[in-house]
Structure 1
């Protein structure tokens, strides 16, 4: 098969096509003929040598795919050959074939293209677990999501809005803010020109956000404590502005805040299966009805994965970047 390997840690051009043997299936796994693969920031970090794959995972980048089932391993019972699925993978998605445990795959929603379906797993698994499970966002509460025009952000805005929460978001340009408003955000803050703490308090009548989804870190930590409501929950999923920062912990105590965080890639197959089951029951019907859908930015051929990484690092994208593998 053709795959995109990381020839050495470095810039986008280190992503190079090469020939690989097909993956060998293990107990309970399926082999997917990949038609499209999602591009995510962890792929960029892996390319730079800053985010190694977990033990036992493929060294190839790529955390989400969509395609047809080409082979079924021993003990796998849910799927049939030819079924159209999308799946979360611990790596290996930038290739014509990838193996994944059958419980980490979901059906392609009715009417979705493979490119759209490939844009679902990484962001929806991440948002569901961190916003609704760890953050326990409820109907009527307010979610502040940073990076609203990203794949994670556009997913969080739509899903939280569809489930009855108010969303405040940050983004880096008027165009990105407008895109966030169209997706259902009640308030979109251009962080280059406005203070998101003041804007969040204004949008909530001074109360603050009940849940904050943060992928920025650094100096945003202390500002999130300011923007949070009493009993607020702050969920850290990345630290793009730095893993080290300072904060006034008296606010954490006085407001009775919870500051938690998680990473998805290293979690067990069983843990991810639980998220998949929740998504299929509670979110997949919304996708099938097109009440929510992935925001698509650009699609690149698999062999031009380096261009997709350039696009992501430029920071101008709105929504998901996808590779066409068909």
Structure 2
């Protein structure tokens, strides 16, 4: 008997919870009864006003037919608690619906498991190249371009100068960005599907205010898949697949630094002049979805340009190396 009273009270409280209009209604201070009509049932709830709180009373439920199912039904723009005793025909329909829902859930679960397995296999394939540390591409920028194009030292890749130019400095020849709209386009495949790698180059800020967009590999119109930049305050920023890392050190203008950026299964690293400056402990990799890789500007926004910087000896490696390679 006690169990029945508690069960009835719980249903009454739930019915009261699912009808906001009933809770908001201003009741007189005297106690009164309110009825909630459901399919094949009438739920009687006793409520009273007490310190601005409506308290449901634990009164018996009066049913036209004793319900065997409790359902949530969206009707007339609101969710309702429906207590029903379905006919045999309706019961079959409801049972078939539940079977269909369970099958759909099982299919979704299988798809998610298969997708997770495929993604894991893809990552294993990408990371499998990490055991062989080797040079992918190198531009020394120590010779004049041929028709605005300049081949790398391996002879396998060609960069296109889009306004940026080669200059002579006391430290040797270098690639320089001096004005708005100056950029360099790099072959996208140099950073495709790299589960691990290293980008290193000599870098100089040519003024104390400009944001230098060193390298962006982007998915057009969406986001930077891989990015390296130096802010106006001299802080270095490195991002891979929405994972971002900022240097602790600030770069002074008119001074060359050896910058090295590493990513692999252990996370991301920024080295400045061969010394570890910042770390992020999270597995990362570069994908093949991006279709534009440029230096000096954001390929997604032509107005985001105007870097004032000088770069020497750009190298990109694939694989995992020991720290001795980062100081080169």
Same fold (TM over 0.5): no
Q: What range is the shorter-chain TM-score in? A: under 0.3
* Bigger Rg, structure 1 or 2: 2
Higher percent of residues as strand: 2
